[in-house]
């Protein structure tokens, strides 16, 4: 298979404009003839559903939550990037493009990244018009702060609730279209399979989570905006319901999966406190603007942090990366924390954390200023831990967070299945091997508001003569039959171990061998163990209840079954990339001082994987990365 990324001709700064000039459009009178399915109601899903509804298409919107407002976009705290240069500190679209390409360790397409930076200028105006309450300076101007991996202030924020506020804006737009009957909402519905007819995506099989009923939904195009699969590690910053099943079922129907092993471990998370936990709590990366990260210089130091003298503290990010200090990118900051913890300098009851200290910032700026910027985050920390971060340092630790990998898409955000689009974190497109903070909300928003409305219309222009898509076809019959068989299989196993047991076991295996660090021996071991665990799952999992009613354990079983296969592919992807880049740190490939050692000669490509069947090795398809505007260099933040 040869992958066609469909990158437009012309200079980098003109590619998107050139695409829009030549893209096909659909006559407004014809849009009501076309049906669109959108799976997911986070920022990407709500924004594209609202946009297409406003344009006049018939849209069906699906989410497994009870309301689109509960999509996981609400959890993004610190901000959203835009190259507005309001601080007059040298920012520009081009600088943002360079920062993002470099932050991803030169493993992303230039054209996609530049377009994201270019579209960022429109997003802030759009959000302000929707009523998003961005932080402002005393004079009323929108304020900015810095995030990791950059040296300018380009992050717009609404205290520590930016994702929630942006989602409320998209949700209002979506609800308006629901009220106008241009969008039909199916909450508490989970997509369980993609239906492909004559090579094109033509619908989905969904399960009503309240009744257990299987439903067929047909359309001219299907859009997946279902987020990432970081919950595969079990303990992560993601909500319990987050999963990779929608994109994985599409993968098994022909959509290639790209760079699955590139999963971000966030450096600023509350540490695990016990085996009882089902998730970990994210603390915004924005805290690193004013907080200083350190560990004691003495191993196993149990002293109160406020009593440890300054000359007995190791501000290791400031020591190792003086140019960026505490604003080093996430992958580098997480590995540096792990290195200190593994070396015996960790703090807290389980010795699994480092300090994030605000004493200097409070002394210089005053408590009120810090409270104004981060008050709700400090309140959350106090509520969860019982400690007051105004009086003593926070304890933080790395945790699984964001999937840079996802479904392979071309410049139009279409997968290798014609008519199937993937937006936001569900695709691999914009972040390379490491995502810079505050680019997640940006990508999801611009995909839905400013990019996909053009590219989907370009596809649908050829569908106006197709007529209504029928759901009583052999392809829908087969897909529904397969879904029903899997549900019955889970119910009938009647084993002795819970779904959570298998999820926790898989998560620990992946964290140990395909997490912050990987090596060939460990990855081969993990593949073998995942296969054993999967075999045990299908013999001994206990799913109580019925397949024809509300059943949370059944939902989890389907998602964990997919996680076994996603996890195996993650390990294959990591094993076949004999280099270190971004979040992919192979211990065999590092510099003498422990930094990632990239191999541009042999691995300057995107790894796209094709499904070849149960228990078969996946097929690797390479998309070469061509850099015309900037040449890859050694990634240094020192």
In DSSP terms, 190 is beta-bridged to 207
| pLDDT tier for residue 516 given thresholds of 50, 70 and 90 | very high
Residue numbers annotated as active site: 330
CA-nearest of 170, 169, 143, 167 to 157 is 143
Label residue 616 exposed, middle or buried (CB < 10 Å: 0-12, 13-18, 19+).
exposed
Residue 233 in contact with residue 242, Cβ under 8 Å?
no
pLDDT at 275 over 90: no
pLDDT at 553 over 90: yes
- Cβ-proximal residues to 116 (8 Å cutoff; 6+ apart), any chain: 100, 430, 439, 442, 443, 446
Residue with tokens 């987020």: 227
Q: 391-417 burial by CB neighbour count: b if 16+ within 10 A, else e?
A: eebbbbbbbbbbbbbbbbbbbbbbbbb
pLDDT at 222 over 90: yes
CA distance 444 to 412: 14
| pLDDT tier for residue 317 given thresholds of 50, 70 and 90 | very high
Residue 492 in contact with residue 217, Cβ under 8 Å?
no
CA-nearest of 231, 225, 264 to 563 is 231
DSSP string, 4-62: ---PPSS-GGGHHHHHHHH-----HHHHTT-EEEEE--SHHHHHHHHHHHHHT-EEEEE
pLDDT at 160 over 90: no
Least confident segment among 28-37, 371-380, 425-434, 558-567: 371-380
Per the model's pLDDT, the better-predicted residue between 615 and 488 turns out to be: 488
Q: What is the pLDDT of residue 278?
A: 87
Q: 232-264 burial by CB neighbour count: b if 16+ within 10 A, else e?
A: bbbbbbbbebbbbbbbbbbbbbbbbbbbbbbbb
Label residue 508 exposed, middle or buried (CB < 10 Å: 0-12, 13-18, 19+).
middle
In DSSP terms, 295 is beta-bridged to 314
Least confident segment among 141-145, 522-526, 571-575: 141-145
Domains in the chain: ranges and CATH:
265-401 (3.90.700.10), 474-618 (1.20.58.100)
Phi-psi region of 234 (alpha: psi -120 to 50; beta: other; left: phi over 0): left
Q: What is the pLDDT of residue 219?
A: 98
Percent of all residues in the chain with a pLDDT value above 90, rounded to a whole number:
95
CA distance 447 to 154: 19
| pLDDT tier for residue 159 given thresholds of 50, 70 and 90 | confident
Q: What is the pLDDT of residue 276?
A: 85
pLDDT tens sequence across 420-478: 999 999 999 999 999 999 999 999 999 999 999 999 999 999 999 999 999 999 999 99
Q: What is the mean pLDDT of residues 497-525?
A: 97
CA-nearest of 120, 128, 78 to 99 is 120
Residue with tokens 């942090």: 305
pLDDT at 1 over 90: no
pLDDT tens sequence across 561-616: 999 999 999 999 999 999 999 999 999 999 998 899 999 999 999 999 999 998 89
Residue with tokens 């001082």: 593
Q: What is the pLDDT of residue 191?
A: 98
Other CB atoms within a 10 A radius of the CB of residue 181 amount to 9
What is the rounded average pLDDT for all residues in the chain? 96
pLDDT at 93 over 90: yes
Q: What is the pLDDT of residue 390?
A: 97
């Amino acid at each position: 298979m040869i992958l066609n990324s469909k990158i437009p001709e012309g200079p980098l700064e003109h590619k998107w404009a050139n695409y829009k000039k030549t893209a096909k459009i659909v006559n407004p009178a014809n849009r009501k003839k076309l049906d669109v399915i959108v799976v997911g109601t986070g920022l990407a899903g709500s924004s594209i559903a609202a946009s297409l509804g406003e344009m006049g298409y018939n849209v069906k919107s699906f989410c497994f939550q009870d309301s689109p407002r509960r999509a996981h976009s609400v959890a993004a705290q610190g901000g959203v990037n835009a190259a507005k240069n309001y601080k007059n500190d040298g920012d520009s679209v081009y600088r943002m493009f360079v920062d993002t390409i470099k932050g991803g360790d030169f493993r992303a397409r230039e054209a996609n990244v530049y377009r994201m930076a270019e579209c960022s200028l429109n997003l802030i105006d759009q959000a302000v018009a929707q009523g998003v309450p961005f932080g402002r300076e005393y004079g009323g101007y929108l304020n900015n702060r810095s995030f990791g991996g950059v040296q300018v202030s380009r992050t717009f924020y609404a205290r520590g609730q930016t994702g929630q506020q942006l989602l409320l804006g998209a949700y209002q737009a979506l609800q308006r279209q629901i009220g106008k009957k241009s969008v039909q909402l199916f909450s508490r519905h989970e997509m369980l399979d993609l239906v492909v007819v004559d090579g094109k995506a033509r619908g989905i099989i969904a399960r009503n989570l309240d009744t257990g009923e299987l439903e067929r939904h047909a359309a001219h195009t299907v859009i997946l905006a279902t987020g990432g699969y970081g919950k595969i590690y079990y303990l992560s910053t993601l909500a319990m319901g987050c999963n990779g099943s929608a994109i994985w079922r599409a993968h098994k129907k022909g959509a290639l999966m790209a760079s699955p092993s590139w999963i971000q471990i966030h450096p600023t998370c509350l540490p695990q406190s016990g085996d009882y936990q089902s998730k970990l709590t994210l603390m915004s990366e924005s805290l690193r603007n004013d907080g200083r990260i350190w560990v004691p210089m003495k191993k196993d130091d149990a002293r109160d942090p406020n009593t440890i003298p300054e000359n007995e503290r190791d501000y290791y990010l400031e020591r190792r990366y003086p140019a960026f200090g505490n604003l080093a990118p996430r992958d580098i900051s997480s590995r540096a924390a792990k290195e200190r913890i593994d070396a015996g300098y960790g703090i807290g009851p389980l010795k699994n954390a480092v300090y994030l200290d605000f004493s200097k910032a409070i002394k210089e700026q005053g408590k009120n200023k810090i409270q104004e910027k981060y008050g709700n985050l400090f309140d959350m920390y106090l509520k969860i831990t019982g400690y007051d971060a105004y009086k003593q340092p926070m304890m933080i630790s790395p945790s699984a967070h964001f999937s840079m990998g996802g479904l392979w898409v071309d410049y139009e955000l279409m997968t290798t299945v014609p008519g199937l689009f993937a937006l936001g974190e569900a695709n691999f497109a914009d972040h390379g091997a490491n995502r810079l903070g505050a680019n997640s909300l940006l990508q999801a928003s611009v995909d839905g508001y400013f990019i996909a409305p053009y590219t989907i219309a370009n596809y649908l222009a050829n569908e106006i003569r197709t007529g209504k898509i029928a759901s009583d076809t052999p392809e829908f019959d087969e897909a529904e039959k397969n879904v029903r068989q899997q549900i019955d299989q889970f119910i009938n196993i009647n084993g002795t171990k819970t779904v959570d047991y298998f999820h926790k076991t898989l998560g620990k295996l992946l964290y140990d061998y395909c997490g912050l660090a990987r090596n060939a021996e460990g990855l081969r071991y993990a593949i073998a163990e995942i296969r054993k665990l999967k075999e045990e799952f299908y013999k001994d999992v206990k799913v109580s209840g019925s397949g024809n009613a509300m059943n949370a354990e059944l939902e989890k079983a389907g998602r964990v079954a997919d996680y076994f296969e996603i996890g195996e592919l993650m390990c294959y992807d990591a094993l076949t990339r004999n280099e270190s880049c971004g979040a992919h740190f192979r211990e065999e490939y590092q510099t003498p001082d422990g930094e990632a050692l990239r191999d541009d000669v042999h691995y300057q490509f995107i790894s796209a994987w094709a499904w070849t069947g149960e228990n078969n090795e996946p097929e690797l398809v390479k998309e070469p990365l061509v850099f015309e505007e900037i040449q890859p260099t050694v990634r240094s933040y020192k």
